[in-house]
Amino acid sequence: MVSVSRRSLLALGAALPVLGHLDWALAAPSPAKPDKVRLNYNESPYGPSSAAREAMQRGVATSGRYPYPDMYALAALFAQQQGITEENVAVFAGSMAALRYAVLAFTRDTRGLVMATPSYEVPRQAAESCKTQVHEVSLDAHHAHDVPAMLAADPQAGMLYLCNPNNPTGTITPTEAIRQALANKPQGCVLVVDEAYIDFSDTPSVVSWVKDHDDLLVLRTFSKIYGMAGARLGLAIGHPALLERLAVFGGDNVPAASTLLGARASLEDIKLLPQRKALNTQLRDETVAWLKGRGFTCTASQSNCFMIDVKQPAEQVIEKLAAHGVLIGRVWKDWPHWVRVTVGNKHEMQRFREVFAAQVVSA
């Protein structure tokens, strides 16, 4: 194993190329009539919080220096809040990079990747790029990961990937099932739990488990509830030796100081997360109830996206809505009549309902 210092470990970057009335959440309100309603990439409609924006502006002035002190400070703050050590946290320019590194580190030609379908496709793409065998297992009847089937899919698996809440369905896999996966996976296999959407849900995080398990890697991102998708910042949480196995694929390409300062300000704002979660829940549940009232089935999402069975080829619905300025999508091959919709702001969800009613319900 390559020995990597803590400084190098935390300095990981994204070297691989690609991918009620709660108006306080609108740090920078969208135009009253935007050209397009963008509900297709699971982005936040609110962007960074006001405190994060101010911190990011301050960071521009320090761009002449490498941002390592700010990176260490962010790792330390996150670790303190989670009850783990700084050595359990590695910083990346987006969690997508950490996920790709994990596939490269934990799989090989004789040790495949096991994941759910439909789910986030990046690990499959990374595995296929290096000709690693991929075993995709359908979600169960409740749209959770079918852990028993995943465990049986490849007795020599090198990596088990579990996205919770799942993208694109927004559905939850019970904590006990994750515990089962960790306890019964193949010897030497690493369980990777992607918690990009965990803060939208009521399900508990498994971050604290890394203290007792050296074969568990947890991923977090600032792209979703914190509204920093364009700023690119993610975290990998695990045993230091496990993180070293990721470090060999990265260098000292780290997020900019402005990004790191914005992330720290987001973590320090104790009201931000519960407020945005409440607003997302309200708008998501209102929209899902509206759809169900018109005879459409939706996934039981606890995320900032959900899926709809549109009862026809989903590509057709995507095209119809796009023609009227509402962008949704995309389609997963195993669910050709289902489409994913991101939860936008109040105006965006109203516009989505108007166009969906005209183009799908009344069509």
* Residue 303 shares a structural domain with residue 322: yes
**Domain encompassing residue 282:** 22-47+271-361
| 0.85 exceeded by pTM | yes
The answer to whether residue 3 sits within a structural domain is: no
The answer to whether residue 163 sits within a structural domain is: yes
The CATH number linked to 282 is 3.90.1150.10
Burial class (CB in 10 A: 0-12, 13-18, 19+), 39: buried
pLDDT at 18: 32
Strands 134-138 and 159-163 come out as unpaired
Residue finishing a domain among 268, 302, 323? 268
More confident residue, 169 or 254: 169
Give the model confidence (pLDDT) of 177-201 as tens digits.
999 999 999 999 999 999 999 999 9
pLDDT at residue 173 tops 70: yes
Give the model confidence (pLDDT) of 253-277 as tens digits.
689 999 999 999 999 999 999 999 9
* Residue 108 shares a structural domain with residue 207: yes
The answer to whether residue 16 sits within a structural domain is: no
User: Rg of the Cα trace of the chain?
Assistant: 20
* Residue 222 shares a structural domain with residue 243: yes
* Residue 174 shares a structural domain with residue 256: yes
* Residue 41 shares a structural domain with residue 125: no
What is the CB neighbour count within 10 angstroms for residue 176? 9
pLDDT at 83: 98
Give the model confidence (pLDDT) of 125-137 as tens digits.
999 999 999 999 9
* Residue 220 shares a structural domain with residue 279: no
pLDDT at 33: 52
Query: How would you classify residue 118: left for phi > 0, otherwise alpha for psi between -120 and 50, otherwise beta?
Result: beta
d(CA 277, CA 200): 5
Please give the single-letter amino acid code of residue 182: L
DSSP letter string over 181-198?
HHHHSPTT-EEEEE-TTG
Residue 352 tokens read as 């989505």
DSSP letter string over 189-242?
-EEEEE-TTGGGSSSPP-GGGGGT-TTEEEEEESSSTT--GGG--EEEES-HHH
Query: What percentage of the chain carries pLDDT values higher than 70?
Result: 90
The answer to whether residue 13 sits within a structural domain is: no
| Alpha-carbon separation of residue 257 from 8, 93, 247, 306 (angstroms) | 17, 11, 20, 34
pLDDT at 252: 61
d(CA 361, CA 76): 50
The answer to whether residue 14 sits within a structural domain is: no
pLDDT at 254: 82
* Residue 34 shares a structural domain with residue 153: no
* Residue 216 shares a structural domain with residue 327: no
Give the model confidence (pLDDT) of 279-295 as tens digits.
999 999 999 999 999 99
The CATH number linked to 137 is 3.40.640.10
The answer to whether residue 6 sits within a structural domain is: no
pLDDT at 15: 34
The answer to whether residue 343 sits within a structural domain is: yes
Give the chain's domain count.
2
The answer to whether residue 31 sits within a structural domain is: yes
pLDDT at residue 14 tops 60: no
Report the DSSP beta bridge partners of residue 342: 305
Give the model confidence (pLDDT) of 224-249 as tens digits.
999 999 999 999 999 999 999 998 88
- Total length of the chain: 363
Residue finishing a domain among 247, 268, 289? 268
In eight-state DSSP terms, residue 93 is S
* Residue 33 shares a structural domain with residue 54: no
Report the DSSP beta bridge partners of residue 237: 89, 218
Residue finishing a domain among 238, 253, 268? 268
Residue 362 tokens read as 């009344």
Q: Name the band, by pLDDT with cuts 50, 70 and 90, for residue 363.
A: confident
Give the model confidence (pLDDT) of 29-57 as tens digits.
443 455 899 999 999 999 999 999 999 99
Give the model confidence (pLDDT) of 306-362 as tens digits.
999 999 999 999 999 999 999 998 899 999 999 999 999 999 999 999 999 999 999
* Residue 98 shares a structural domain with residue 185: yes
Residue 306 tokens read as 């959900």
* Residue 256 shares a structural domain with residue 337: no
* Residue 119 shares a structural domain with residue 157: yes
Cα-Cα-Cα-Cα dihedral sign, residues 281, 284, 290, 296: negative
